[in-house]
Structure 1
Amino acid sequence: MSEPGGGPGRGYADSALRPYVITKGRSRPTRNTIGVETLLVAADPSPALPVSATREEVALVRMCERLLSLVEAAAHLQLPVSVVKVLASDLVDSGHLSARTGVPQATAPDSQLLQEVLDGLRRLR
């Protein structure tokens, strides 16, 4: 984390900027696939950030040169997860970050299929 009172990771509570300013007034990300467990990594090669990029966006891209979860990035930036989710979503949309979600949980097998397997095993006896 950065030193108190300075740098890109300055806590939002200590900053004159409110979270809605950092997210340009949005409270929801453009993607609904980014969760707290989503892993973020900078694109390779990463396109240059625009001059208008905020210091939080610059810091997030720098942090994500190594694989980092969204919640870890929020802790390092000392920002609410919801704010970092919006920033990360924008950076994924612009091609600066890649988001890797976890493996989806397996769905329960179809009960009819299980019954057919059981019936087949019983016939083998």
Structure 2
Amino acid sequence: MRGDPAGPHDWLDSDAGPVVRPYTVTGGRVRPTGATFDLLAFVVAKAPEGTDGEAPLQPEHRRIVGLAQQPVSVADLAADLDLALGVVRVLLGDLLAAGLIALYEPPASAAHPHDDILKAVVNGLRAL
């Protein structure tokens, strides 16, 4: 103890707020159940915010449903929630299984650039 006014723990930062480990938020799970979530996939809440589901939701689940009232990408959700992408994917898997969100995957690109075009771009960059 240092005797400072912050309290007995010098590692505690009052500006940081509550600290919860990611594995606590996901219950130790590291992969979402069911679907995989692309970074560019859009998530939309099916139920209006404030509608109670059958199961009680964690605060992180409620925040996702609140943010997803308008279409939002998985990457943006992770940034807005300030959570690791893997944690957000697990939470989205829970919400998808509960039927509280809809997921819209981006269409797969059918046409990839030809090798000659990529080589020309690399050669152009090297010339700079």
User: Quick check: 1:34 aligned with 2:37?
Assistant: yes
Unmatched 5+ stretches in structure 2: 1-14, 113-128
Calculate percent identity across the aligned residue pairs.
29
**Offset, 1:32:** 3.9
Q: Does 1:103 align with 2:116?
A: no
Q: Give the deviation of 1:37 after TM superposition.
A: 1.1
1:31-110 equivalent positions in 2, closer than 5 A: 31-44=34-47, 48-50=52-54, 52-106=56-110
Residues 30-85 of structure 1: CA distance to partner in whole angstroms, max 9, x if unpaired? 13431111100001567623563111100000000000001101111000011001
RMSD across aligned C-alpha pairs, in angstroms?
2.2
Contact 1:43 1:96 in 2 (8 A): yes
**Does the 8 Å contact 1:41/1:65 carry over to 2?**
yes
AA aligned to 1:27 is V
Residues 49 and 58 in structure 1, CA contact (< 8 A), matched pair in contact too: no
Cα distance in 2 for partners of 1:45, 1:76 equals 19
Give, in whole Å, the separation in 2 of the partners of 1:50 and 1:22.
Answer: 19
Q: How many residues align?
A: 97
Residue by residue over 1:70-108, the C-alpha shift from the partner in whole angstroms, topping out at 9 and shown as x without a partner, is 110111100001100100111011000001000122278
- Which residue of the partner structure matches residue 19 of structure 1? 22
Q: Report the equivalent of 1:120.
A: none
